[in-house]
């Protein structure tokens, strides 16, 4: 076996490990998104007052829920809530 053969074997194994790790990462992200989407649906059962307590409005749930099922809606909800908090702080400072 030559050095070139050994190098080729190492490269193939590295590529296989990289592809496997990428697949595991994708599956983990998908499972996390599905778990968070299940929790997201529980927000729909909250009253408008409860949603307001966490910086959300009912319409925000519709906006965040428009993404495909495999996309985690909680990230979008966080952006919406942070934007609303920023707007309120600006109004308070004016």
Mean pLDDT for 38-65 is 90
Q: With 0-12 CB in 10 A as exposed, 13-18 as middle and 19+ as buried, what is 68?
A: exposed
Spatial CA neighbour of 47 closest among 61, 66, 37, 35: 61
**Residue 33, Cβ density class (10 Å: 0-12 exposed, 13-18 middle, ≥19 buried):** buried
pLDDT at 10 over 80: no
* Arithmetic mean of pLDDT, 6-20: 79
Q: If you write DSSP's letter for every residue of 1-35 in order, what string do you get?
A: --HHHHHHHHHHHHHHHHHHHHHHHHHHHHHHHHH
Q: What is the pLDDT confidence band of residue 47, given thresholds at 50, 70 and 90? A: very high
Among 4-13, 27-36, 54-63, 83-92, the range of highest mean pLDDT: 54-63
């Amino acid at each position: 076996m030559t050095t070139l053969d050994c190098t080729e074997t190492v490269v193939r194994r590295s590529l296989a490990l990289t592809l496997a790790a990428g697949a595991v990462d994708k599956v983990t992200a998908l499972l996390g998104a599905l778990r968070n989407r299940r929790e997201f649906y529980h927000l729909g059962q909250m009253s408008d007052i409860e949603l307001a307590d966490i910086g959300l409005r009912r319409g925000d749930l519709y906006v965040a829920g428009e993404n495909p099922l495999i996309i985690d809606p909680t990230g979008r909800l966080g952006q919406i809530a942070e934007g609303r908090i920023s707007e309120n702080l600006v109004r308070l400072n004016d």
